[in-house]
Amino acid sequence: MNPVHALLNSHRSIRKFTDQKIDEALLATIVSTAQSAATSSFLQGATVIRVRAPESRKKMAAYAGNQAYVESAAEFLVFCADLKRPGNCCVQYEKPFAGDFTEHFIIATVDVALMAQNMVIAAEAAGLGICYIGGIRNNPRDVSDLLKLPKGVYPVFGLCLGYPDQDPECKPRLPLSVIMKDEVYNEDGDAEQIAAYDEQVREYYRQRTGGGHGICWSEQVASLLSEKARPHMRDFLAEQGFTMR
């Protein structure tokens, strides 16, 4: 297997880190590599904020649902969708700012995701472990106030970086035939394949929890989508200038 393919297939979320710091030159390389990700219309609508102060880390961990690894990781970065910086260009060239359209929101958010994934690959290639922290959206106003985010900027997720102090197994993914379709969307044969996959995931969780009750993928997703998910986000985004015209 190609080494890059092997690296990508070996991805795991790491939640226990050693005390080893990340060399500043390595961190700079990882971030600059992340900048090489694709960006729609050359917008470059992502900003990364490095959170280092212990008190700020402690608050971030609390805002994210008391996730201790936000404090213990060597680095904690917050990825923000940023339409403030491009908006400044409108002011510079005396053009009206129409960055509150839904399409601009999508462009900036996708830019963030692409940049972050480039960073993750670069980090893992250097022997680092990562964990995405979507939990910062539990309290987006507190996070924004702490980071002094202006209108036109919102925190999409955090990212823990550090040297792994654990070696978890890779979590199995859906069969390729379920997620890759030919010509048109269809669900032919999906139910049977997902049923088999559910058993695979159930066994993965049993092994991970030391023989405890395993939950299958379908049940996990059903629980996720049957509950309200951060209903405060819509009003928060509007407050930050993302009115979704």
**What are 23-55's pLDDT values in tens digits?**
999 999 999 999 999 999 999 999 999 999 999
Q: Is the pLDDT of residue 211 over 70?
A: no
27: alpha, beta or left? (left if phi > 0; alpha if psi -120 to 50)? alpha
222 in a domain, yes or no? no
Is the same domain home to 89 and 152?
yes
Is the same domain home to 38 and 128?
yes
Is the same domain home to 199 and 233?
no
Q: Roughly how many angstroms between the first and final C-alpha of the chain, as a whole number? A: 46
How far is CA 179 from its chain centroid? 20
76 in a domain, yes or no? yes
Is the same domain home to 142 and 206?
no
Query: For the residues 50-75, what does the mean pLDDT come to?
Result: 98
Per-residue pLDDT band for 141 (boundaries 50, 70, 90) equals: very high
> pTM (2 decimals)?
0.95
62 in a domain, yes or no? yes
Read out DSSP for 174-221?
--HHHH--SSS---TTHHHHHHHHHHHHHHHHHHHTTS-PPPPHHHHH
Query: For the residues 78-96, what does the mean pLDDT come to?
Result: 96
- The pLDDT of residue 209 is 62
Structural domain harbouring 102: 3-169+228-239
Per-residue pLDDT band for 84 (boundaries 50, 70, 90) equals: very high
From the list 32, 135, 127, the residue with the least C-alpha distance to 76 is 135
Question: Around Cβ 80, how many Cβ atoms within 10 Å?
Answer: 23
Is the same domain home to 47 and 145?
yes
Q: Is the pLDDT of residue 210 over 80?
A: no
Query: What is the spatial distance between Cα 144 and Cα 136, in angstroms, rounded to a whole number?
Result: 10
Q: Is the pLDDT of residue 214 over 90?
A: no
Is the same domain home to 57 and 135?
yes
Question: Which amino acid is it at 99?
Answer: G
Q: Which residue has the higher pLDDT, 60 or 100?
A: 60
From the list 102, 133, 66, the residue with the least C-alpha distance to 234 is 102
Is the same domain home to 132 and 158?
yes
Per-residue pLDDT band for 157 (boundaries 50, 70, 90) equals: very high
Percent of the chain with pLDDT over 90: 94
> Which helix (H) or strand (E) element contains residue 161?
strand 153-162
Task: Tell the burial category of 30 from Cβ atoms under 10 Å away from its Cβ (0-12, 13-18, 19+).
Answer: buried
Dump strand ranges (E) for 10-124: 46-51, 75-82
